[in-house]
């Protein structure tokens, strides 16, 4: 089939295009802020001029941030969001990829695989506050967290098939688990996005908030998680993750291992003591 230069409306539904050339790059493509005496880490994808499209350098920086959080005992919960009001992330930066060799592409794919693996395997609870467009790898970053909240302006899409790719960042695995399988398949095959409201109705998104209230809502959730026993929270996250897809009794065995470990942990004594004393518990940071 011969290529054509006839204008098309093929991309209009996606509401974004390639980043403009020559834009000033931020000093740091991924920002990290620590709140609540370091108990809450806020990770911000920070290329707003490019709709937070992910370059090789940005992916490597995100991996570094996640690996740092993984070993920082004082961090009890993390939030990942995007810079600006327009986009969470539109996925891989296609302008950077335009000039890549096959070897460059495959190397970047390996780097991104490491980023997503590190995100999925993070012991610390982490959730996404999706503040706008989340397409391709951006949507898959959100899907790789423990849960998602979103702004009223957020949209989720997997347009990879539209540009000749099979989605490779997790959506063929995760979308059918958080959406009706037929809806997930439709999104993957057509590339058409869904709104935050539809994603909430179907169960992919937990909460939808006005744009200006999203991070306040995220912080309230994070503060609640951070106030709980970090050892118990991490144990139950592990039980859920490892038990998914397992036969019932195997999943229960995984759950019970986590339960018995928590039953003999000092946090259990502190938590029950605080309940009976009608006071706030003081849980210690986990000792890895």
Residues serving a catalytic function are: 140, 160
Q: Which residues of 168-181 are buried (b: 16+ CB within 10 A; e: fewer)?
A: ebbbbebbbebbee
Q: Which residue is associated with the tokens 């200006």?
A: 212
Q: At what angle do helices 102-120 and 56-71 cross, to 10 degrees?
A: 20
Q: Which residues of 251-273 are buried (b: 16+ CB within 10 A; e: fewer)?
A: beebbeebeeebeebebeeebee
The helix/strand/coil state of 44 is: strand
The helix/strand/coil state of 283 is: coil
CA-to-CA distance for 149 and 200, rounded, in angstroms? Answer: 9
CA-to-CA distance for 136 and 160, rounded, in angstroms? Answer: 6
């Amino acid at each position: 089939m011969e290529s054509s230069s006839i204008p098309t409306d093929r991309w209009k539904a996606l509401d974004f295009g390639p980043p403009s050339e020559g834009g000033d790059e931020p000093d740091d493509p991924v920002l990290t802020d620590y709140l609540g005496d370091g108990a809450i880490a806020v990770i911000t994808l920070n290329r707003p001029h490019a709709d937070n499209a992910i370059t090789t350098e940005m992916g490597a920086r995100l991996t570094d941030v996640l690996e740092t959080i993984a070993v920082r005992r004082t961090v009890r919960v993390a939030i990942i969001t995007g810079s600006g009001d327009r986009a969470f992330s539109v996925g891989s930066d296609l302008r950077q990829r335009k000039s890549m060799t096959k070897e460059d592409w495959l190397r970047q794919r390996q780097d991104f695989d490491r980023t997503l693996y590190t995100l999925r395997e993070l012991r610390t609870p982490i959730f996404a506050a999706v503040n706008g467009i989340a397409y391709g790898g951006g949507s898959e970053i959100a899907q790789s967290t423990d849960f998602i909240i979103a702004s009223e302006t957020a949209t989720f899409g997997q347009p990879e098939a539209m540009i000749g790719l099979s989605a490779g960042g997790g959506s063929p695995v995760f979308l059918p688990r958080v959406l009706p399988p037929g809806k997930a398949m439709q999104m993957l095959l057509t590339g058409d996005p869904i709104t935050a409201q539809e994603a909430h109705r179907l169960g992919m998104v937990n909460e939808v908030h006005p744009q200006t209230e999203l991070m306040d809502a995220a912080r309230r959730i994070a503060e609640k998680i951070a106030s709980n026993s970090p050892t118990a929270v991490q144990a139950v996250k592990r039980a859920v993750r490892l038990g998914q897809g397992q036969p019932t009794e195997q999943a229960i065995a995984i759950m019970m291992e986590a339960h018995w470990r928590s039953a003999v942990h000092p946090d259990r004594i502190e938590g029950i003591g605080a309940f009976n004393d009608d006071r706030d518990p003081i849980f210690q940071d986990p000792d890895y």
